[in-house]
Structure 1
Amino acid sequence: MQDPRNQSPFNALPPVVVALAVIIAGIELIFSLGEAGIVGGRAAVGWRLTAIRDWSLIDPVFDWMLANGTFPPGELARLITYPLLHGSFTHAAFVVVFILALGNVTAPFYPTWRLPVILTGAAVAGALAFLVLFDTDRPLFGGYPMAYGLIGVFTYLTTLGLARADPSRAFLLIGFLLAIQPIFGLASGAGLSWVPDWTADLAGFAGGYALAILLFPGGVQRLRDRMRRR
């Protein structure tokens, strides 16, 4: 048996969670190095803004697609690429921390393809809420809808008694995240117009919770039975 002291702390983390965190961190590292002038030359200063323009969720782009009845795959990809972009190093760092922590807790109950589906579904749910509820030129970017989706999964698991935590802790975590949203709005240059963002986050939570029920073996019946016993 291998000495636990010699094992990597990443061995216990689910591969899909590590992969997502590495992608987000890698993109942010490239942006940060470019802004610092370490790589890419002068053009690198604008890499972040260019990526946000080309890959974030922008309401007028989808309005144009609906008006013209055309849906280019490259533009539809914004529904799942916007969570990979962030306004600052701090913004990305918080998302990575929450995804690693919550993903590590929830992934064992949703092996193979299930957790990626939940993460994607949470991102799409957040995007649709943003597009339907608001008419704004401000882009949506950042991985919080996926993080909130994992909070939704965690909440469902605590409801079933499968996670060793009080269900109220999930809502305390939501409150904490909502409280720090204005900070990231300022850090990314968006000011305090953060209402569309947290609406997308809460939609991500709802999407994660719903998919957690659907993708858990016997999930709907287990939840119904537990509610009846209360």
Structure 2
Amino acid sequence: MSSPDNTSPVNPIPPVVVALFLVVIGIEAAFSLGARGLIGGPGAVGWRSAAIQSYGFNSDIMKWMLQNGVYPGEHMIRFVSFIFVHGTFTHALFGGAMLLALGKFVGDVFSGWATLLLFLASSVAGAAIFGLVAGGQPWLIGVFPGVYGLIGGFTYLMWLKLGQMGAQQYRAFTLIGFLMGIQLFFGLVFGGNGDWLADVGGFAFGFVLSFFLAPGGWSKIRAKIRHR
């Protein structure tokens, strides 16, 4: 048994979540410092724009691949690489903060590999939905589709908890409803693009995927199938 004196009063953030956060903030730090001429020389001013062009996700590129049946690696990587490119420092910082918060909650229950898979798979699913629906929209960049996938995992855990308590399980969707309401408000007031489609897609995929990734989730599903 471990000594009570050695027990931390706060659960640490899962290492996989910390690693993702450091990658996001590290890349953003390079862009921000380069834009101010502090690193990289004169060419560093255009690092962000070049990264968006090379690693951002675009619906036109996806539709070109589908129409021609050609899937080059330089474009397929965009389904994941767009996560780590942001438009501004504030964009990256806000996304990173949400990644830490939701990643800790989900990572405290899910295993490390399940948390990473939930984040990445939700990002890919969100990008795919964006590519199929949001024709002619600007570049999709940023960590948010993956974060919304983690919100899907959070919602699943709350949905289970409310069910165990005998409470109304629809209350588990309060957070996503609140966030979507904020996005709708800002979209109507300031204008917006179709990136909310990627967020909704990431959330929906993350929620469904959590049935399989949660501890014992696949075993429960298999048992129900056998019972039927």
Q: Please give the TM-score of this superposition, normalised by the length of structure 2.
A: 0.82
User: Could you tell me which residue of structure 2 aligns to residue 193 of structure 1?
Assistant: 192
Q: Structure 1 residue 106 and structure 2 residue 106: aligned?
A: yes
SS at match of 1:38: coil
Residues of 2 paired with 1:92 and 1:177: CA distance?
19
Q: How does 1:26-175 map to 2 (within 5 A)?
A: 26-161=26-161, 168=171, 171-172=174-175, 174-175=177-178
User: Shift in Å at residue 207 of structure 1?
Assistant: 0.9
Residues 48 and 2 (structure 1 numbering): CA distance in 2 closer, same or farther, change over 3 Å? farther
User: Shift in Å at residue 56 of structure 1?
Assistant: 0.6
Residues of 2 paired with 1:145 and 1:178: CA distance?
16
Query: Runs (4+) of structure 1 moved beyond 3 Å?
Result: 1-5, 166-170, 180-184, 217-222
Aligned CA-pair RMSD: 3.2
User: Shift in Å at residue 168 of structure 1?
Assistant: 3.5
Unaligned runs of 5+ in 2: none
Residues of 2 paired with 1:148 and 1:81: CA distance?
17
Residues of 1 paired with 2:67 and 2:195: CA distance?
24
Checking the alignment, whether the CA contact within 8 Å between 1:34 and 1:41 is kept in structure 2 is yes
Aligned residues: 216
User: Could you tell me which residue of structure 2 aligns to residue 176 of structure 1?
Assistant: 179
Residues 201 and 173 (structure 1 numbering): CA distance in 2 closer, same or farther, change over 3 Å? same
Checking the alignment, whether the CA contact within 8 Å between 2:14 and 2:112 is kept in structure 1 is no
Q: What residue identity is the alignment partner of 1:60? A: D
Checking the alignment, whether the CA contact within 8 Å between 1:182 and 1:192 is kept in structure 2 is no
SS at match of 1:63: helix
Per-residue Cα deviation, 1:144-169 (whole angstroms, up to 9, x for no partner): 111111111011101111899x9736
User: Shift in Å at residue 177 of structure 1?
Assistant: 6.1
User: Could you tell me which residue of structure 2 aligns to residue 188 of structure 1?
Assistant: none
User: Shift in Å at residue 3 of structure 1?
Assistant: 6.2
Per-residue Cα deviation, 1:12-59 (whole angstroms, up to 9, x for no partner): 110100000000000100000011111112211110010000001112
Checking the alignment, whether the CA contact within 8 Å between 1:178 and 1:198 is kept in structure 2 is no
Residues 3 and 218 (structure 1 numbering): CA distance in 2 closer, same or farther, change over 3 Å? closer
Residues 117 and 144 (structure 1 numbering): CA distance in 2 closer, same or farther, change over 3 Å? same
Residues of 1 paired with 2:50 and 2:121: CA distance?
26
SS at match of 2:112: coil
Per-residue Cα deviation, 1:112-164 (whole angstroms, up to 9, x for no partner): 32111111111011011101112115111111111111111011101111899
Q: What residue identity is the alignment partner of 2:201? A: A
SS at match of 1:113: helix
User: Shift in Å at residue 68 of structure 1?
Assistant: 2.5
Residues of 2 paired with 1:12 and 1:48: CA distance?
32
Residues of 1 paired with 2:185 and 2:44: CA distance?
27
Q: Structure 1 residue 216 and structure 2 residue 219: aligned?
A: no
Q: Please give the TM-score of this superposition, normalised by the length of structure 1.
A: 0.81
Q: What residue identity is the alignment partner of 1:155? A: T
Percent identical among aligned pairs is 37
